Each structure stands twice: as C-alpha cells, then as structure tokens.
Amino acid sequence: MEFAWTFARGALATALDVAPIVAVLVVFQAVVLRQRLPNPRRLAAGALCVLVGLTLFLIGLEEALFPIGETMARQLTAPETIGVSAARAVWSDYALVYAFAAAIGFSTTMAEPSLIAVALKAEDVSGGSVGAFGLRVAVAVGVALGVALGCFRIVTGTPLPWYIIAAYAVVISQTYFARRDIVPLAYDTGGVTTSTVTVPVVAALGLGLAANVPGRSALIDGFGLIAFASVFPIMSVFGYATGAAWWNRRRLVHTPKET
C-alpha cells in the first residue's frame, strides 16, 4: 500500500518531466511538418513505458543507488577501515577510497553501451589505427584516474577549479597536436561515459565522502566527481589516438628494413 502511494506520487511528478519531449515531437510532427503521426498507438504505449520506467527508476534511485554510494563512503572512511582516528588521518590513509573510486569508474565505463558504439565509430573514422577495444580501455582508465583524483581532491579539500582548468589546458594543447577528424569524437566521449546508473552512485559517493571526512562541506567539496569523469576521458582518447598514430608510423618505418 505504501509502495502504491509512493508510486502514484512519483508517476505524477514524472508525467510532468516526460510531457515536454512528447509534446515537442507531436507538435512538430503535426504543426510544422503537417504530417499525421505514423503510429499513434505505439507512441502512446512507448510514452506509458517511459513514464512507468522512469518512475520505478527514480524510486530505486532513492532506495538503492543513493544509499549504496553513501554507505560505501561512510564505511570506507570509518576509523576502523583507515586505521587511524578521522581527526588525525592524512590523505594517504584514504587509499581504499581511491581504489574503490577507480574500480567503479573503470568497470562501469567498460560496460557502458553508448561508449561501445562510439568506440566502433572511432575505429571507422581512423581507418583502424584506433582500435575499438583499446579505445574503451583508454577511456575507462581515464575515468578511473579521474574519479580517483576527484576523491583525492575531496579528501584534501583543494579547490575544484584548479584541477578542471588544468585539465582543460591539457585538452586544448592535445587538440593542437591531434588529427582533425578525431577531435569531435574525443570531445563527445566526455559526455557519453557518464551513464544514468553511474551518475547517482558516483554523486552519492562524493557527497558521502565530503560529509564523512572532517572539515569538508558537502556543498563546496561534495560535487565535482562527475566533472572529473567527463574531462579525463577526453584526455585519454586524445592520448590514445596520438599514441596509436605514433606507434603505426614507427611500425611502418621499421618493417620494410626487416623484410
């Protein structure tokens, strides 16, 4: 009964979230293109699925994904885990936090469906010099390093803009050296690596970390992990593409001498 009530309230709020996109598609189809809807019943069924699915997802988010991130942050920063009392802990005592963050970043990115699609396209664009699997590993390593570094930033309380702006400087200089056709793809990977399931867990991890490390404020220090996870893959894609091009050139230069 309580679940039914939660569900009904959630569904009402979700209906308002889904309404704009359905309205946009229907209105443009009917008014601007002046075409009849190709399959109204299927569209209605689809919209209903989206509504019910999103409602269930948001309930699960509150019940599971947020608590998981917070619980992991609390247990990983507990005095019995880090070995010293929280007041005397230094950044290196939180090694398990960085390991956990890197593991979450790496594994979720490797499994991310939209990244698999982008990686296959990148293989096409580059004529095979950038391998799809290698690219996925590169991006996953980028996200892992990014999230771990983001946790280090929360633990130390250093300002977020320093890291992100430094990362921008690296990305800009990499753009200068990269092949033109890889540039838009590299920029896009930053956006696609952070999936619907990963974002809440990582966000809750950061907020939980800021709440449990003494002297940190959730408002100032708790956010920013998603930003790390979005910028670092851009660097690793550029790095991988440039490295693969260099390696291929080297192989081409050396192979004829041997044969």
Residues 182-211 that bind another protein (CB under 8 A): 183-185, 187-188, 190-192, 194-201, 203-204, 207
Site for another protein in 100-129 (CB under 8 A): 100, 103-104, 107-108, 110-114, 121, 124-125
User: Measured from the CB of residue 171, what is the shortest distance to another protein in angstroms?
Assistant: 7
Phi, psi angles (nearest 5°) of residue 105: -60, -45
Q: How far is CA 1 from CA 8, 15, 52, in A?
A: 11, 21, 17
Helices in 28-78 by DSSP H: which ranges?
40-60, 66-77
Whole-angstrom Cα distance, residue 123 to residue 247? 16
User: Measured from the CB of residue 73, what is the shortest distance to another protein in angstroms?
Assistant: 12
The answer to whether residue 138 forms part of the interface with another protein (CB under 8 A) is: no
Which residue lies nearer to another protein by CB, 54 or 89?
Answer: 54
Total residues interacting with another protein, rule: CB under 8 A: 104
Which residue lies nearer to another protein by CB, 71 or 92?
Answer: 71
SS3 content of the chain, % helix, strand, coil (to 5): 85, 0, 15
Whole-angstrom Cα distance, residue 61 to residue 205? 14
Q: Which stretch binds another protein (CB under 8 A): 34-42, 82-90, 235-243, 245-253?
A: 34-42
The answer to whether residue 8 forms part of the interface with another protein (CB under 8 A) is: no
Q: Spell out, one character per residue from 230 to 259, where the chain touches another protein: x when CB under 8 A holds, - when not.
A: x-----------------------------
- Number of neighbouring beta carbons within 10 Å of residue 138: 24
